[in-house]
Amino acid sequence: MKTLIVPVKGEGKKLSTYLLSEIPNLSFGTFCMLLRKKDIKINGKRIHQDKTIHQDDEIVCYLPEANEKIVSSFSVVYEDEFILLIDKPANLEVTGENSLTKQVHKNYAHAPFLPMPCHRIDRNTTGLVLFAKTEEALAILFDKFKHHEIEKRYLAWIYGTPPKGKKKEEAYVFKDQKKAMVYLSATPQKGYRKIITSYQVLEKRNDNTSLLEVEIETGRTHQIRAHLAYLGFPIIGDGKYGKNEINKRFHQKRQCLCHYKLTFAFTSDSGVLDYLNNKSFCLKKRDFWG
């Protein structure tokens, strides 16, 4: 059992927001379970829904035993009442059967709205995936991604040493649905769509490899992987667009690509998500770089 007295800073907050910040390792899924079982009291009364709390409210939570605790099979980077930011591991699709979304829905089965992904990354690309926890937040975030008001940056370990400084590259891409691959051209062609990829070198190594920070203005299938390979800088471990001899040399079996930074850069009305404007969330460098 956990008893809390709401301080001044808790005035007007949602119960979920307050408890997730005050109780270590409490997940939103567990919070929903507590509500469903009426295992939370506010001022002596059991509650079954998320409420606004006020200063000096007494909150009592009957927390489950350690062996009953809901365990997430994913890493939550940040969470509040509107968004959920997850660090996706490799070998996991964002949507579909046996996907990250399925796992999230299992953990949040008792939530009033099942969190939904706002974008995708490849199965073997690791890193940040943003979920919306309300229908209103989902609509806003879809609109922000559409109008490029959310910035995504990636870390890519590549073979080669591009010149230092930021480079902006353009090309045209064709998606072959049957082969599940894309092909690039330097000039416009029928069925090809324009792509824009920017990158800069963060570090170089003596083994002819480099760590790049990559940003894309267009979100086409396999864009980063295919475009860097087309430029002569294949991502290490990429079995589709990379080089097998290089992947074997560095003992990598999946592409060393991570969506490591997400920034909210709203330039238009963002409604209930206005508090996120100008905020960034960033992961540490991946183990493949060391």
Residue by residue, DSSP assigns 23-59 as STT--HHHHHHHHHTT-EEETTEE-SS--B--TT-EE
What's the rounded mean pLDDT across residues 174-194? 94
Element (H, E) at 102: helix 100-107
Give me the pLDDT at residue 287, please. Answer: 65
Of the candidates 39, 80, 122, 238, the residue annotated as catalytic is: 122
Does residue 50 have an active-site annotation? no
Q: Which two tokens stand for residue 209?
A: 């490899």
Check residues 111 and 58 and name the one with the higher pLDDT: 58
pLDDT of 178 over the 90 cut: no
In angstroms, rounded to a whole number, what is the distance separating the alpha carbons of residues 219 and 151? 11
Confidence of residue 69 (pLDDT cuts 50, 70, 90): very low
Integer-rounded Cα Rg, in Å, for the chain is 22
What's the rounded mean pLDDT across residues 123-150? 96
Check residues 110 and 252 and name the one with the higher pLDDT: 252
What's the rounded mean pLDDT across residues 77-85? 95
Q: What's this model's pTM, rounded to 2 decimal places?
A: 0.76
Q: Which residues of 153-174 are buried (b: 16+ CB within 10 A; e: fewer)?
A: bbbbbbbbebeeeeeeeebbbe
Q: 203-255, pLDDT tens digit by residue?
A: 999 999 999 999 999 989 999 999 999 999 999 999 999 999 999 999 999 99
Mean pLDDT, the chain, rounded, equals 91
Judged by DSSP in three states, 174 sits in: strand
pLDDT of 277 over the 50 cut: yes
In angstroms, rounded to a whole number, what is the distance separating the alpha carbons of residues 220 and 216? 9
What is the number of other CB atoms lying within 10 angstroms of the CB of residue 11? 14
Domains of the chain (ranges; CATH) run 1-71 (3.10.290.10), 152-260 (3.30.2350.10)
pLDDT of 83 over the 90 cut: yes
What is the number of other CB atoms lying within 10 angstroms of the CB of residue 85? 16
